[in-house]
Every structure is written in C-alpha cells, then in structure tokens.
Structure 1
Amino acid sequence: MSLPTGLMTELIGRELEAAVLRERLRDPAVRLLTLTGRAGVGKSALAAEVVRETAGEFARVEVADVAADAARSGAGFTLPVLPDGPGRILLVLDGCDHEARPVAAAAAGALAADARVAVLATALEPLGVYGEQLLPLGPLPLPAPGSREAADPEELREVASVALFVRRARDADPSFALTLENAEAVAELCTLLGGLPLALELAAGRLRLYPPHLLAARLRGRTTTLSGGPANAPARHRSLAALAEWSCRGLDPRARALLGRLSVYEPGFGLAAAGPEAEAGVEVLLDRGLVVVVGEERGELRLAVPEPLRSYGRAELAESGGEGAALSAHAERYRQLVAAALSGLAGTQQARHLRESAAEAPNVLAALRRLRARGDGEAAAAMVLGCRVPWLAQGRLREGLEWCDEVAEPAGPPLPEALRARITDMSGVFALALGDPQEAVRRHRRALALGKNVGDRRQNALVSAHLGAALLRAGDAPGARAVLVTALSALEAMGVSGGAASAAASLAAVLRADGDRRKALELLERSEEAFRRIRDGRGLAGTLRISAALALEGDEPDRADAALREALRLYEAIGERTELPGLLEEFALLLLRTAPAQRPRTVRLLAAADTLRGRTGAEVADEWRSEAERARTELSGRLDWTDFAVAWAEGVRMSAATSVAEALSAPGPSRRPAVSAAAEAQSLTPRQVQVALLVAEGLTNRHIAARLDISEWTVVNHVRQVMRRLGCSSRVQVAGAVGRWA
C-alpha cells in the first residue's frame, strides 16, 4: 500500500527535511516518529518519498491510511498483521488527525513497544505518546519582503516556494516562464499563500486562465476560492476551502470564535494586540497550526492566521453577520494601542515603541481604514497624529502625507479646527521629508493660520519650529532664523523640552549656515543635553549630525566620526529609515576624506544610501546630495571599473541593518595610520607584493598558486598577511591599495 500524495508528484525545497527524516528512520533507537504540520504542508508527500528511498533497508514496510480508514469505519483503522522473524519493520500511519487521533495514538504506542518496529506517523499535532519524537514541517521559504530577490527572476527562482510554483505552472502551461514582468506578481502570490505547497500547486494550475498579476488580485482575501485538485486526491486536498474546513474540524467553539476574531488581524500581530483574554485560546490554536509564529520582536512573538484559514475565518464571520463587529473591535484595539504608545515615543521606551509600531504597521493601517469606512473622522485623525513619529521612522512618507490629506477633509462632519491644524502641520513635516520644502512651508503656514483661531500657544510654537526648519531647507535662512528664535523662546518658557530641543537644533543649523559657529555650538550643546535627558534617541541623532558637520568645518574629524557613529547606533536601535540614507552618505563622505584606503567601503555605503532612499522617497539636503554625486564620480575614476561595480552591487544588496554594521566596522580616524602608497608597498615582502598584484588582477587563490608555483595554502597565508598589513578587509580593498601604488 502506498501513501496518498495528493498533488505532490515530486519534492521541491524539502531536501533538508528529507535528509533528517531518512537519518531518523535509520536510527534503531527511534521507535515512534511523528511528522507534524499544517494541512497541505506536504507531510504525506515527504513521508512517501523518504519511505520509497529507504524501503530496502527494512525487512518489511506497511502503510495504513488512517484518515481514509477512519472516514470509512467512523473511528478506527485496520492494523496490518506483523510477521514473526528478524529484521526491522517500518509501519507508516498517515493522517492521524481528529477523531482518528486517539485510536492512532494508542496503536502507535502499542506498536512502538515492539523492538523490531519503527512507526512513522503524520499528523496535524503530536500524538502525545510517551517516547514520541517529533519532526515539524513548515511551509516553504518565502521571498524576503522588500528585498531585491522579490523582483529579480534569477534570485527569485532560488526561493523554494517560487521554485515549486514555477514547476507546477510549467506543468499547467509549458510556455510559462518567470520573467522581469511577472516576477513581482509571482512573489506576491507565494507570499499571499504563505508558502503552503498545496495552495501553491492549486494556484499554479489557475495560470491557464489568469496571468500572475490578475490571479494575485483575485486571491487577496479569498484564497479559499482555489480548487481543482485531482479526483484521486483526498477530499481535503481538492480545494483550499475543504483544507481549511478539515483543519478546523473538532475545534472547541470558543477556540473557533477566537480564530474568527483573529482572522481580521493582519499577519504579524502581537499577542498583546490580540488582548489578554486571547492568550489561553491562542495556545490551543498554535498547537493545531491554526495560528503560526511569523517572527519575534524584543521577546514578543508575532503571530498570524495563515491562509487559507484567514480567508475561511473571514468568510464564516461574514456569513454569520459578525465581520463588521470584529473589524470595529480590531480598529478600537489598535486605536487604543497607538494612543497608549504616544507618551513613550520620546523617552526610555522610544526604541521599543518604535520597533513594535513597525511590526504592527499593517494592522494600524487596517484599523485606520475601518475608522474611515465607518465615518469616525475624529478617531481616524487622532490615530494618524499618533502615527507621526513611527511613520517618519519607518520611512512611510508618501503614505503618511496621503493619510494626513485624507483625514483632514473627512466625508462626514468636519474636524474641529484644532485637530485640523495639527493634521495640517503634520502633513508639512512629511512634505519636507519628501524633499518639497516649499510645499512644507505652505502647509505649516496654513496650520499656523488655523491654530491662531484656536489660541493654542504650545501647538503654535511647535508649528513655528517646524516652519523654521522648512524655511531653512527652502533657502530662506533669515526667515528661518526669525521664526525659530521666537519659537525657541516660547517653547522654553512653556517647558516643552522636546520641542525646544528640536527648535534649538534647527536654529543651530541656521547659525551654521550664517557662519556663526560659536552660537551654533552653544545651541547644539543645549539641544543634545535636553535630548539625552528626555531619552529621545531620534532627536539626539539629528542633533549629532549637525554637530558632526560643524566639527568637520573646524577640522575635527575624530569628533565628527564619534558623533556620526553614535547617530548610526541610535538610528539602528529605533529602526529609523527616513533619515538613515542621509546619515550613511554623511559618514561615507567623512570616510572618503579621512581614509582613502576605505574607498570600496565608501562605495558600498553610498550605494546602500541610494537604494534605501529609493524605498522611502526620503530626501537629503542639496549640499550633501551634490557632495555625494561628486564622491561617486571621484570613486568611479579612482577605482578600477570592475571594482567599483562590484562594490556598488554589494551596497545595493545591503539591508538597512547591514549598511549600519558596514559603516560602524570602518576604522576610526585615530586608528587609521597615515601611510603613503610607497610605504604600503614597502611593508610587504617581495612575494607578498607578487600575490597582491595578482589579487588585483582578479586571480583566485588557485590561479595564483599555479602562476607562482606554490601551494594554494601558502597563497591563502600570503593573502591574509597582505590584508592585515594593508588594513584591508576584502580582496576588493587589496586591489584598491595596489591601484594606489601605480
């Protein structure tokens, strides 16, 4: 008897799990091994393939389709009669789920007591038998969100979920190919379906009717419409609706109600966001694979109701008339969470709140959409205001500006004037971050006009501080100075520490532009001290960047380097993405000025900054933009074209966290010896010079060994010595150093 494999005709992306399962079955000490995982994840297919490969190593192999037997008999299945005699016997119990689970568990326990028998079971959850060993099976890996591989066919086809989808798509349509045009849609489909093999195979079959982008649009929020499994497959494998129903069978009514409520949550919600009353129920759902862990943020698990269960739960809610109430409860929950986080966004908990806000961003947006849909304009506007700092940190600039404009003019009753003034001011902050200072000035002035009618002195002073920063970026230094002096005085008088510190930093930038370095330094010291006192890391980092610029003008590279490094660490701690590209460019320019040997690293940082800025739409000051462009031109001329291209490609592929680590790993100015090119060459032995020259030609260690008639291991040692003596961390940097000798 053979295992039912449903749609799975070959294993793709399961090489590691197959190797582990083979070794476990070959181990005489393993008596009961249960392959666990969600329905549709491919447990039966993996078991069938590994049993086929290892069958010759057992005296006998018996397979019992527990699910099918239980369906026929109502509760049990027929155990094979085990023969007498030597040799190990492998017994496979497939589909030990729901009503068949107790019987299967009892049988497995009894069979495993026979020293000759190894039992391999497949089940949604552990059988709970003493001595049971588990091998959990999860969905296939997905394209990383926001990465280049999500749009690059060459990299995308290396992702297991995509590889399976493409293979099955070609089975359905031999002309199908993964291309630049459809790569993004294929990545979205695989992500939407959560890497679940059965879902991927069913979706691939639909490509006969729809191109990938249309199929993705049809499946958003309703993946249970997928069907079309072969007639000889188990009923639960013929459609995703049947699969979801099978997964939920026998679920306690309270757990089922909780699953429905959580199905309106976007993937990646925290347990705290689900509410304290959900904790016990979530554990039950986790055990059944109805809720899955998708990440972790500072010790808190991030959870999701996976597809097709999420679509199934939403459909059940809609049929029962409870979807609206569930969506409103979700919106209210996140409205409260955003409001509660406001006080912690400038203080000791800033980093934690910003990280949590980033993780919960999809749910915050879903809550906003619900508030707007039900006509609750004031609640939506208040929630948008609470998202100002998180959205700025996350780089959600265009989205933030659009939401400001959306809630400022609600479809229902107009907002109170005070609320409109604050929303309009916030929109100016986003306009400035997007590189449109003139528009920012217009919006801030509009906010001031609205605020004067209300008479809120504190808010008007904060708006004036924002207006001053926008005027400076717009090239009106005198206007910026006049506004900021008044705003700073008012904010200090009212004891608004954070606002006063920001205004002081902006005024320092104006004074720096005017050449008044002494007063600028005094203001920066006050601003830095205030931000440190209130523990506002984002504000402190901005102040440190201005301090670094002043330090460079005063020929103090060590001080500038220290300030920029601290700013980098602060930005990384809070997940800052809007201002990070500009900071990376500032650090790269400092590196180019003080450490010519670090040219490849400088190229990588400039490339990373350029790429990160493209993702957020953030802009940097014109002075830095022009300097960065000149630096790129200079570096492309000084480095070999290939070296420059390689370093640039490496930078483009860096994540934000990797780019910060790359910058912080650069040696500081005080640790960079001022060594001439001639001195660099003289620090090497003649043989090391030969090796360095060949490295610069792009030869591998093996080719260098053949060229010099020495062992490859000797070449490895020479390369290490060359890199150590020249202060290089890569072969690209060695090539750069050799280029200077010429």
Structure 2
Amino acid sequence: MTVSQVAAGTWQTVELVGREWERLTLVGRLRDPSVRLLTLTGPGGVGKSRLVRAVLPELAELFGAPSYADLSEAGSPAEAAAAAVRAAGSGGDRRLLVLDGCDHHGEALATAVAVLLHRDESLVVLATGQQPLRVYGERLLPVPPLPVPAPGDDPAELSEVASVELFVRRAREADPEFALTAENGRAVAELCGLLEGLPLALELAAGQLRLHSPYDLLDRLRRRGVTLGGGPFDAPERHRSLAALAAWSCRELEPTPWALLEQLACYPGGFTATTAERIAPADGVLDLLLDRGLVARLPAPPGQSRLTVPEPVRSYARAALADGGREQAALDRRTEECRRLLAAAEPRLAGAEQSRWLDTVQAEHVNVIATLDRLRERGEPEATAAVLLACRLPWLARGHLREGLARADRAAGEAVPEPVRARLLDLAGGFASALGDPVGAVRRQRAALALARPLGDRRLNGLLAARLGAALRRLDDPAGAEQALGPALETLESLGAAGAAVEAGTELARVLLDRGERPRAAGLIDRTVAAARRIGDGRALAGALAVLARTVEDPAAVGQALRECLRLYGAVGERTELPSVLEEFAFHLLRAAPVQQPRAAALLAAAGTLRDGLGAEPDGRRRAELEDALNGLRDRLRPHGFAVARAEGRRLSPAAAVAEALAAPDLSRRAAEPGPAGGQPLTARQLQVAMLVAEGLTNRQIAARLALSEWTVVNHVRQVMRRLGCASRVQVAWSIGRWS
C-alpha cells in the first residue's frame, strides 16, 4: 500500500491543456464558504489528479499548505479511511484536505469523511474519484474527456481543439519533427475521436508515433482495439497502459453489473437506457455503472438520451468476453436487438412519426452496420437483406449512399430468393441514382423489374416501374420515363398504395415539366401534394412541394412552396435531397430578391459542400445552372464579397443551411404588407422591380432582367415610388434596404 501525505508546496508546476473552465470552477467553488466537500468525478485517465495538483498553489493561498493523501493504492477501505483521518490532522483555521483516488473504498471512506466534516467545521475536503462519495452536502464537479474535433484536415482549425492540442504536444515530445499538417490532419482528428478525448489515451497514443505514422496507428487501433501501453515508469501502475486503467476502473465490480457492462460493450454506436434495462432489468445496475464512469452519456438532441461504454473500458470488456468464450453469444444478442428495433421502425417511417423514427434509426447507424457484418459472418444472406431493405428510407434520407450502394450490390449477389434480389437491385438503383449515376441506376432498375415481372406482384411491379421511370428521367430520357411512370402510377393508385403513388406522381410531374407540359404537371402535382398531406409522409410531401414550386410563376408562391419544403426537410434531417432544394431556393432569391445575392451565394456553397460530403454529383442540367449562377454572383459581388459569402456557406451545417434559407425575407408576406413608411402594399412584380432599383439597375437593365418592355418597367417604378411615398430612386433604394 502506498498512502502518502505531502504538503502542496512539494508539487511541481503541472501543465494542463483544455481545462481552463474546470480550473476556474474548481477554485471558485472552494472559495465559497458553504462548500465543505467537493468531489471531482470522471472516468479513469481523464486527469482529475492532474487538475488537483495544478491548482494546489492557488489553493495554498486560500487555505495555507493543504494536506494531501493518495488513497489509490490503499489495500482496503479500512486502510483508506484510516489514512484520510491521519491526513486530516487536528482543528485550527480553515484548511483543506485533498483525498486523491477515492475509488473502490465505498462506505468505509465515506463514513470517515462524514465524521471528519461533522467534528471539524474548519475542514474542507477536496476528493477525486470515478463516483461520488455520497456524503450529505457533497458538491460534484464532473471532469469530462477533452472535446474532439469534427472530421476534417485543416491544421489551423484542428489545432484549436483541446484533444488535438494535447495530442500534438505529446507527439512532439516523442518525435520533435512531428507537425500537424493537411496530410495527417484527418488521421489525427480521427485518432482523437476514436480515443474519445481521454487525456491518458491521447498521451499514450502520441508516444506511439515514434514507431507508426498517424494513419498506421489509426488502422492498428481500429483492428486490434484500444489497448495502448508504454506509460512512464514513475506513473502509477494503472496509468502505464489503457488495459491497466480499465482493470482498475472495473475492480470489485459485482457479477450482475459486470455482465451488463460486457454486453453493452458490444454496442459500438451506443445504446439507450431502455436497451440496457431490457438486458439487465434489476434496479440500480445501470445507475451503478453510470456513477463509476463505466457508462457515459453521449451528446444527443433534446428529448433523446444515449449512453456508451467509453474507451478503454469497452476494449477491456470485449477482451474479457473473448477470453471467456462469451463474445459470440453477446454479439448475437446485440444483433437480435438491432433487428427487433428495425422491424419496429420500418412501418412507422412513412407516417406522422417519421421524424422520430428516422432519428431513432440514425442513432443506431453504427450498430446497424455491426449487425450487417455479424449476419454476413453467420452466413445469413436473407436476414442481411431484410436489415438492408429496412434501412432504405433512413439511409436515403440521411445520406448513407455509398455505404448503401456497396452493401446492396453485394447482398444482391448472394443466394437469396428472386423477390428479395429484385428488391435489393431496386435498393442499389436508388442509391446509384442519388449519387448521380443514372446509367448504373437504370441498369439495376431494369434488372430488378425483369426479376419481378414473372412473380405477378402488381404492387411491386408498379413500384419498380416507377423507380425505373425516375432513373430514366435522370438519364435524360423523358419519353421512356413517362412510358414507365404513367402506367405505374395508375396501377399504384388502383391498388391503394398511397405512399408509392405519391413517389410515382412526383416523378411523373418532374418528367412533364422537363417536357414543357406545365399545365399537366401542375394538375398532377396538386393531386400528389394533397395525397402526401393525407398520409402524413413529411419527406414525400417535401419532394412534391419542390416540384410544385416549379409549376407556379408567382415568386411569392414559389417561395412559399420552397420554404415549406425546407422546413419539412429540416424536420426529418434530410441530407440527400436537401442540396437541390437549397440550390432552387438560391435561384429563387436571385430572381425575386436580388439584394439577397450574398445569401444565395452562401446557400449554393452550403449545397455544394453537402453534395461533396455525400459523394453525389449533380446532373448535367443542374451543373450548367450552377455554373451560370456562380459566374453571375462572382461578377456582381466582386471577388472579395463572393469569397466571403462562399466561405460562410461552406461552414454551414445542413440544419444551419436550412435556417439560413428560411431567414431570407418572405415575399409572400412582404407583398401583402405596407412598406416601412406606411405606404400602400406592393405587388410581387412591383417588389421585384423595387429590389432591382435598390441594386442600382437602370430601367433598361431591369427590363432585360425581367423580360419586360422598358415602358412597363417605367410604370412599375412610378407605382413603387407612389406607394412607398418616395420622390427618387435613391429613396426607393433606401426604403427597400431598410425593409429587407
């Protein structure tokens, strides 16, 4: 047993990275006279002891020389309690007792601390441990792992993230020539994410750069699990390797919580409390793991809660499963749990609960991938296919396109029944189409339809024919697309397949628009929008509204349809179709509200960045539209303004891009409201003209832009000036500028 008591002044200066908030909070809490017991909690290796040692000089100014007792090596709870009593000494002025490493000493240590605080009102205790002492009046200060970066390779952005900063500092100590660069930045970012920002893990990994490049080290850790070693000999034994740290963290864990921990370690994407309670229904087991830092909360949207077994405990528990011959059964149990979830989600993905269930399936994405791999290992192609087919809508909506295409193609080549193979080929065709490969999509859809026709399933044949038609439209074959979509729509409507009919109707309306048959397209899409509203499928409704916006000429109506579409896509977390709608909205702004050119440039940049992330390509027609719009914006905004707007757009997340689009002035409202001077309302056309006047265009330029006669523009300008109460074009520009 190593239990020591030393004066704070004997500690040398301790370097901290990314702990400014915790340091200030710790000292601030201890300045409060009402705080008698403050416990730093957090997983092993997070740096609780280092944080305490770093603030000891400041605490000495408050309390004099604090007493320090390291209880981590105490042989028993009784020894730890006795050491705490010895270190506390006798009464006097307000003084501080630091109890470092209070783990595994339970009720005996907690009782001793409670007695000390009760007997000596001048005593303040600062403790560290993976879980609270559970003494009355105890205040907690959680010490979390360091923040990890988003995927990326920009050294300037990465170096601002605390986990990367710590990794780079320790890497330079191991290899003085190491530098964070654009070439290794992505690997360093992924290493920090894989190690979950745990400081000890980051330091041990950085030490391995003497032997491996960041990419090689990342590959080794992914293949072998996070089992780093090589810590300094003067460190406590539990800090010399992650395996030793995990063993320390799990010490004296009883069989029931240990069995639950082993099973939960098989969920690489985390799990819900409901899942954990279904595995181990006994009360308090999950709470115990949470208290000891063996289970941690994951960041989640409001209303959701997800948990995970953090590294290195996860790798340690998986190794114990493998050593004990229990791993295969645990993996099979996780597989069945995931299949049960997908079976429950699939029928709910196209109705009023669509958004919630899409979020649920997305949260389980990593576990779904693990389940697919497990089923393939077990040689169960039909079960693999069933899981893949259940993921169609979630993966299309959330942009898992390349993963979906590769897995669907592979599954279609396995020994599965013909109806299943047809659906898998159709699934692969949908992913190929979304990725901008219409040739590959048509090839797969034709093969799917050829397999399905002899089966006599009219609904399946109608659906596959509709999807073939959609692929033919993207291949720029409108005649073939209409030939496939028309009968398919009739079949699906006659069978009452409302969701599939909405999909087919939306695609047929697109074909009619491409062929210049606007009236037919308008009538069809009006029906389709109404049908989508009836079934409550938000994603399908959004797609139909995007087509509806192309059938109307009034700018206010166009904006209204696109806004509702964006709101719906934002609600369901859409990724695949979102870029095209952001682009349509940007084109709309350029036509109807030229003063919004910087916002349009930002939205086009956001759409492009999202497409790049998906690995998708726009079709030839859209590519030409984008090139024209960007060239015009580059000319009008000048190089600097264009570059600034584009840079801002590239930084927008999908949700932020939707919010940015919806923040643009709503023409449908402004056309019906008086101007800022209290004048008469402007019509949509007058508002267009007024905004072009505000941009500085002459009547002739406005006429050319809007395809009007110059005399018509003159009349519009006069009406704008009269309704806004303006005496000059400058006043119109000022008024519109304030209004927008």
Q: TM-score range by the shorter chain?
A: 0.7 to 0.9
Which moves more between the two structures, 76-85 or 293-302? 76-85
Instruction: State whether structure 2 residue 482 is matched by structure 1 residue 484.
Output: no
1:193 and 1:223 in contact (8 A); partners too: no
- Give the structure 1 partner of residue 376 of structure 2: 372
**Gap change, CA 1:511 and 1:223, over 3 Å in 2:** closer
**Gap change, CA 1:368 and 1:235, over 3 Å in 2:** same
1:4 and 1:233 in contact (8 A); partners too: no
**Gap change, CA 1:81 and 1:532, over 3 Å in 2:** closer
Match for residue 181 of structure 1 among 176, 180, 183: 183
Instruction: State whether structure 2 residue 681 is matched by structure 1 residue 675.
Output: no
- Give the structure 2 partner of residue 333 of structure 1: 337
- Deviation for aligned residue 1:276: 2.3
Match for residue 737 of structure 2 among 726, 729, 732: 726
1:37 and 1:138 in contact (8 A); partners too: yes
The residue type paired with residue 556 of structure 2 is D
- Deviation for aligned residue 1:451: 0.6
Match for residue 316 of structure 1 among 316, 320, 336: 320
- Deviation for aligned residue 1:109: 1.4
1:64 and 1:93 in contact (8 A); partners too: yes
- Give the structure 2 partner of residue 408 of structure 1: 412
- Give the structure 2 partner of residue 597 of structure 1: 595
SS at match of 1:296: coil
1:5 and 1:48 in contact (8 A); partners too: no
| CA RMSD of superposed structures (Å) | 2.3
SS at match of 1:675: helix
- Give the structure 2 partner of residue 303 of structure 1: 307
- Deviation for aligned residue 1:6: 12
1:7 and 1:229 in contact (8 A); partners too: no
Structure 2 matches for 1:270-669, cutoff 5 A?
270-274=272-276, 276-278=278-280, 280=283, 281-297=285-301, 299-410=303-414, 414-551=415-552, 555-669=553-667
SS at match of 1:267: coil
2:69 and 2:87 in contact (8 A); partners too: no
**Gap change, CA 1:72 and 1:421, over 3 Å in 2:** closer
SS at match of 1:269: coil
2:45 and 2:200 in contact (8 A); partners too: yes
Separation in 1 of the partners of 2:261 and 2:73?
A: 27
**Gap change, CA 1:619 and 1:556, over 3 Å in 2:** farther
Which moves more between the two structures, 26-35 or 372-381? 26-35
1:89 and 1:118 in contact (8 A); partners too: yes
Using structure 2 for the length normalisation, give the TM-score: 0.88
The residue type paired with residue 595 of structure 2 is A
Instruction: State whether structure 2 residue 69 is matched by structure 1 residue 64.
Output: yes
- Deviation for aligned residue 1:728: 8.7
The residue type paired with residue 661 of structure 2 is A
Q: How many residues are matched?
A: 678
- Deviation for aligned residue 1:132: 0.8
Separation in 2 of the partners of 1:5 and 1:183?
A: 39
**Gap change, CA 1:665 and 1:467, over 3 Å in 2:** same
Match for residue 90 of structure 1 among 83, 93, 96: 96
- Deviation for aligned residue 1:612: 0.2
Structure 2 matches for 1:53-132, cutoff 5 A?
53-70=58-75, 76-78=81-83, 79-80=85-86, 86-98=92-104, 100-113=105-118, 114-132=120-138
Separation in 2 of the partners of 1:476 and 1:221?
A: 46
- Deviation for aligned residue 1:325: 1.2
**Gap change, CA 1:118 and 1:559, over 3 Å in 2:** same
Separation in 1 of the partners of 2:11 and 2:519?
A: 76
**Gap change, CA 1:618 and 1:224, over 3 Å in 2:** closer
Separation in 2 of the partners of 1:290 and 1:655?
A: 32
- Give the structure 2 partner of residue 27 of structure 1: 32
- Give the structure 2 partner of residue 14 of structure 1: 19
- Deviation for aligned residue 1:356: 1.3
Deviations 1:64-122 (A, max 9, x none): 11223446985544233666675321111111110x23332122212223221111011
Which moves more between the two structures, 507-516 or 14-23? 507-516
Separation in 1 of the partners of 2:603 and 2:443?
A: 34
- Deviation for aligned residue 1:297: 4.2
1:581 and 1:613 in contact (8 A); partners too: yes
- Deviation for aligned residue 1:611: 0.3
Q: Matched residues, percent identical?
A: 53
**Gap change, CA 1:379 and 1:507, over 3 Å in 2:** same
2:101 and 2:129 in contact (8 A); partners too: yes
2:147 and 2:197 in contact (8 A); partners too: yes
Using structure 1 for the length normalisation, give the TM-score: 0.88
2:559 and 2:588 in contact (8 A); partners too: yes
Gaps of 5+ in 1: 682-721, 730-742
SS at match of 1:283: helix
SS at match of 1:122: strand
- Give the structure 1 partner of residue 263 of structure 2: 261
**Gap change, CA 1:422 and 1:490, over 3 Å in 2:** same
1:508 and 1:523 in contact (8 A); partners too: yes
